[in-house]
Amino acid sequence: MEVKKIHGVIPPIITPLDAEEHVDEAGFRSLLDFCVESGLHGIFVAGSNGETMGLTQKERNNAIRIALDEVKDRVPVLCGVMDTGTKRVIENIKELEQMGGQYAVITPVFYARHATQYETVRHFEQISRQTNISLVIYNIPSFTSQTLTAETIFKISEIDKVVGYKDSSGRLGDFIKCLRFFKDRKDFFLMQGSTVLSAASLLLGADGYVPSLATAFPKPFIRMYEYGAAGNIEGTIAWNDVVMECDKIYPMAKNQTSSTKYAVSRLGFTDKRAALPTEPITSEEIKNIDEQIIKINDLIAETEKEWGEI
């Protein structure tokens, strides 16, 4: 089976910050190298897990610049340009073009009380006219307050330069509709953004998934993709059990960003600091996450014995 350029495990990477909430460039470069060298298939920078809307515009662009420069052409880099209006997104894309970016990830507009499905189609139409780089649809209703329907995804996919879809809606039924609709489109990729739905999505034909904690634990997420892409149900389930143990880290702090950044900081490249006003992680939460990480690493070693490289 032909593998598309955008496929596999593409983590929405954290943005490491210093005490002034500037991007920690040295730490970020080390983390990016670790991701690529660990076998992850791409990077999604300046997404919600990267605190993109909590950063200043200057630091968002700085994070994107560093990611593009450090990763270069080793794996694809998807770049978040989401914003509250079409003109603002176009301005973000113009900055991305100057940095050499190739993929712009776009949500519906947010902080809009009555956004409609048609408005989002028009949003993409206007953006497409103003750029020559590839556009990726990002459906994340928990942040935008708008759930794009499968039918809206079909309409947007007809717009020039739209090349893929990341679905974080949690609506597996709609995602399956998309898998069926795009099954013969070799020029359009489908990524599952909800980790809990990823095993099923991979077995049903998704090109990959976008899990936040893959940065901290690359192996189980890569293995689950490999077994899922091969259609091996038992192996996919075995690694999904490990992935679900990783996901238990999210609610172990009051804020998911804090728990994620702490888990990633355990690699030794970055600080656990999150942008204000994010609730900082407590010593008790750290203790609980440390215990969970030990459990996860033991489970990875155990699962690798039976379900290693496919």
pLDDT averaged over the chain?
97
In the predicted model, is pLDDT for residue 1 greater than 80? no
Give mean pLDDT, residues 186-197: 98
pLDDT for the residue 207: 98
Q: Which residues, in sequence order, are bridge partners of residue 165?
A: 137, 190
- Domain assignment present for residue 281? The answer is no
Q: Which residue type occupies 203?
A: L
- Domain assignment present for residue 66? The answer is yes
In the predicted model, is pLDDT for residue 297 greater than 90? yes
Least confident of 90-94, 108-112, 263-267: 108-112
Round to whole Å and give the CA distance between 126 and 123: 5
Domain assignment of residue 218, given as a range: 8-232
pLDDT for the residue 158: 98
Q: What is the pLDDT of residues 205-224, one digit of tens each?
A: 999 999 999 999 999 999 99
- Domain assignment present for residue 133? The answer is yes
pLDDT for the residue 214: 98
Give mean pLDDT, residues 36-48: 98
In the predicted model, is pLDDT for residue 113 greater than 80? no
Give mean pLDDT, residues 58-70: 98
Q: What is the CATH number of the domain that holds 154?
A: 3.20.20.70
DSSP 40-87: ---EEESSGGGTTTTS-HHHHHHHHHHHHHHHTTSS-EEEE---SSHH
- Domain assignment present for residue 240? The answer is no
pLDDT for the residue 115: 78
- Domain assignment present for residue 246? The answer is no
pLDDT for the residue 112: 82
pLDDT for the residue 37: 98
Domain count, the chain: 1
Round to whole Å and give the CA distance between 50 and 65: 14
- Domain assignment present for residue 256? The answer is no
Q: Is 142 exposed, middle or buried (0-12, 13-18, 19+ CB in 10 A)?
A: exposed
- Domain assignment present for residue 123? The answer is yes
pLDDT for the residue 100: 98
In the sheet where 8-9 sits, what is the strand order? 8-9, 208-209, 189-192, 162-167, 134-139, 103-106, 77-80, 43-45
Radius of gyration of the CA atoms of the chain, in A: 18
User: Which letter does DSSP use for residue 280 in this model?
Assistant: P
Q: What percent of the chain has pLDDT over 70?
A: 100
Q: Where are the alpha helices (DSSP H) in the chain?
A: 25-37, 57-71, 86-98, 117-129, 141-144, 150-157, 172-181, 198-203, 218-229, 233-247, 256-265, 283-306
In the predicted model, is pLDDT for residue 2 greater than 90? no
User: 126: Cβ–Cβ under 8 A, 6 or more apart, which residues?
Assistant: 86, 90
- Domain assignment present for residue 26? The answer is yes
